[in-house]
Amino acid sequence: MAGSVAEKIIQGHIIEGEFVTGEEIAIKIDQTLTQDATGTLAYMEFEALGIPKVKTELSVSYVDHNLLQADHRNMDDHLFLQTIAKKFGIYFSKPGNGICHQVHLERFAEPGKTLLGSDSHTPTAGGCNMVAIGAGGLDVAMAMAGYPFYMKTPKILGVELTGKLRSWVSAKDVILEMLRRYSVKGGLGKIIEYFGPGVESLSIPERATIANMGAELGASTTVFPSDYQTKKFLEAQGRLEVWKEINVDADVQYDESVNLNLSEIEPLIACPSSPDNVKKVSEVEGIGVNQCIIGSCGNSSFKDLMIVSKALHGRKIHENVSLEINPGSRQVFENVANASGLSDLIHSGARINQSGCLGCIGMGQAPATGTVSLRAFPRNFPGRSGTENDQVYLCSPEVAVAAAIEGRITDPRKLGKYPNIEEPETYIINEEGIIPPSKSQEIVKIIRGPNIKPFPNFASLENELSGKVLLKVGDNITTDDIMPAGSQILPLRSNIPAISEYVYSRIDPNFSSKAKVNQGFIIAGENYGQGSSREHAAVACRFLNVRGKIAKSFARIHRSNLINFGILPLAFIDPNDYKEIETNDMININSIRDQLKNPNNNIVLEVNGKKIECQNRFSKRERDVLLTGGIINYVKKQS
């Protein structure tokens, strides 16, 4: 039977269920990754499972988010992560070694394998033919413990690429075009698979850029074939032995399909404050710019930085602009230097930072008040930069460097001849920043700083559930809205009591104090919980006595995180019922345990004397997890 690339990989990893759209399956996970903003909690959860060593083929712990060492807390967490990696058989990528997705692509990505990561941009590895899925840290902890990953079988959207990108048009413009067409909700419940003759012209780093921002479409993951380009990249990385060819069958039938002619795409830009607010650069030319940043998990490769370097040759950065460069990895930095790309960056006036996420997660690089910032990043949610009422635009490195030179948004095609950049035939490889697991793990002592607090215990679901509506919000609420990032809050990731004080702080500064004294619910619109995989947006809510979230629809990862921590994610049967509930209303759910156990009936709520029905579309496993109060309780009960 003809198959897509994604189906072939998933079919080879199914442990439970069948590949039928909408049905729950369990797949074997070959590799996992964590980053430090989610990793401390994930490894605390892994410890709670009582497993002596990870059971995956490969697990890697990266430090790339909390790099600002303003006090002891971030460095304490880094020592915890390093020692726990040695203890449990995990590779450790040190601070400054690089962004997890860039480094994983370089050193660990393997065609045909599965990867589960506690970061929503884990699908970046789909550029190297992995089924790479973002998830909450608890799901990753379970995978490290040898448990399969459960998900509903997605539809597969086949995107046929034809033609070839023109000068000054990049892979970033391809995914921005997809966001322009499909929006941040267009990929929900889908895998995006690229195929066709146009794929052959895209290098692995370019494919990774496209796969990276598939997360902004809401897609489960993005997959490219493994072909000659894959082989070429892995050979340049000294890892040719892991290459295998995996391509789509000629007569495959996708659930949905669309054609994208690369030759017709022009420079695009996502305007404030959503990745799908996409316009042609030519439509917004002339807007003054104060800051341009190049380098994130999606645009920090060798080619990205070399394009910028060559464009700056003989030119200066505009006096009103701060151009900031974040290399994706130490390898990228060293190879750019070796290709004489560093001198033009320095001479032009660019600010060069360490390899890390930095401004994308609000860890420094906040723009000035009332100014425009162009960023080759994947997200521009309101306030994510660290500046209130920010004006952040997302674009390619080509568009960013043109703006840095001119001092205003400029079509990069006006810069003249497009630089011809070839990837190195052999990359300079230095793995000093990657520490392998200890061979004597039994003698390793885990170092815990004072900011690392024990993981809280949660009770099972009571049968009679009632509480106040603590907050009502609209559509497309992000996990940044629920649990903000930034240099003040990120260091609290391993301290649930402390970080819970910031839940919804940007929307309702009094939310945490109200929630502590009122068991309650949150009401939301469509696509609730989009964006980052941060499970703190779930666990901190549970710590604050939030027992249910009732929405028109949920983003995939956040829905799973809510279930993992025993919070009911209930979707309205009739979306119009959203209008019937307001903040401070009382909600009663009678016999909720009995209702959950009966999948033939809807979940019935009582609000203001009216009965409102919600979907009861949980798998048997999800029901059992909710009944026991979360997945850790569930696993302990099973053992």
* CATH code assigned at 335: 3.30.499.10
* Residues 112 and 220 reside in one and the same domain: yes
211, 232, 264: which is the final residue of a domain?
Answer: 264
Average pLDDT over residues 333-356: 95
Side-chain half-sphere exposure of 451, counting CA atoms within 13 A: 20
Position 438 in a domain: no
* Residues 276 and 148 reside in one and the same domain: no
CATH number at residue 558: 3.20.19.10
Q: Residue 123 above 60 pLDDT?
A: yes
Position 430 in a domain: no
Q: Which one, of 563, 546, 545, lies nearest residue 554 by Cα?
A: 563
Position 80 in a domain: yes
Task: Give φ, ψ of 116 to 5 degrees.
Answer: -120, 125
Whole-angstrom distance, CA of residue 515 vs CA of residue 275: 31
* Residues above pLDDT 90, as percent of the chain: 84
* Residues 188 and 287 reside in one and the same domain: no
User: pLDDT tens digits, residue range 257-269?
Assistant: 999 999 999 999 9
**Tokens representing 163?**
């033609």
For strand 391-394 and strand 372-376, is the pairing parallel, antiparallel, or unpaired? parallel
User: pLDDT tens digits, residue range 103-112?
Assistant: 999 999 999 9
pLDDT of residue 98: 96
* Residues 294 and 225 reside in one and the same domain: no
Q: What order do you get walking across the sheet with 221-223 strand by strand? A: 221-223, 190-195, 155-162, 256-261
Q: Residue 198 above 80 pLDDT?
A: yes
Q: Which one, of 60, 169, 50, lies nearest residue 122 by Cα?
A: 60
372, 389, 414: which is the final residue of a domain?
Answer: 414
Position 457 in a domain: no
The count of structural domains within the chain is 3
* Residues 301 and 316 reside in one and the same domain: yes
User: pLDDT tens digits, residue range 467-477?
Assistant: 999 999 999 99
409 within 8 A of 284, measured Cβ to Cβ: yes
User: pLDDT tens digits, residue range 206-223?
Assistant: 999 999 999 999 999 999
Identify any residues that bridge with 203 across adjacent strands, giving them in sequence order.
none
End-to-end CA distance of the chain: 39
* Residues 560 and 633 reside in one and the same domain: yes
* Residues 249 and 118 reside in one and the same domain: yes
Which residues, 6 or more positions from 424, have their beta carbon under 8 angstroms from its beta carbon?
A: 236, 302, 335, 339
For residue 620, count CB atoms less than 10 angstroms from its CB and return exposed for 0-12, middle for 13-18, buried for 19 or more.
exposed
Q: What is the mean pLDDT of the chain?
A: 94
Whole-angstrom distance, CA of residue 174 vs CA of residue 128: 17
Average pLDDT over residues 396-414: 98
Q: Residue 589 above 80 pLDDT?
A: yes
User: pLDDT tens digits, residue range 514-569?
Assistant: 999 889 999 999 999 998 878 899 999 999 999 999 999 999 999 999 999 999 99
Position 424 in a domain: no
264, 285, 313: which is the final residue of a domain?
Answer: 264
pLDDT of residue 1: 41
* Residues 138 and 30 reside in one and the same domain: yes
Average pLDDT over residues 64-69: 87
For strand 58-62 and strand 24-27, is the pairing parallel, antiparallel, or unpaired? unpaired
Phi-psi region of 629 (alpha: psi -120 to 50; beta: other; left: phi over 0): left
Position 349 in a domain: yes
Q: How confident is the model at residue 447 (pLDDT cuts 50, 70, 90)?
A: very high
pLDDT of residue 531: 85
pLDDT of residue 635: 86
* Residues 248 and 287 reside in one and the same domain: no
**Tokens representing 401?**
């460097």
Buried residues in 142-176 as b, exposed as e (16+ CB within 10 A): bbbbebbbbbbbbbbbbbbbebebeebbbbbbbbb
Position 482 in a domain: yes
* Residues 246 and 217 reside in one and the same domain: yes
pLDDT of residue 2: 56
Position 434 in a domain: no
pLDDT of residue 547: 95
pLDDT of residue 584: 95
Domain around 314: 269-414
* Residues 230 and 325 reside in one and the same domain: no
Q: How confident is the model at residue 361 (pLDDT cuts 50, 70, 90)?
A: confident
Instruction: Give 384-406 as a DSSP string.
Output: TTSSTT-EEEE--HHHHHHHHHH
* Residues 153 and 286 reside in one and the same domain: no
Average pLDDT over residues 420-425: 91
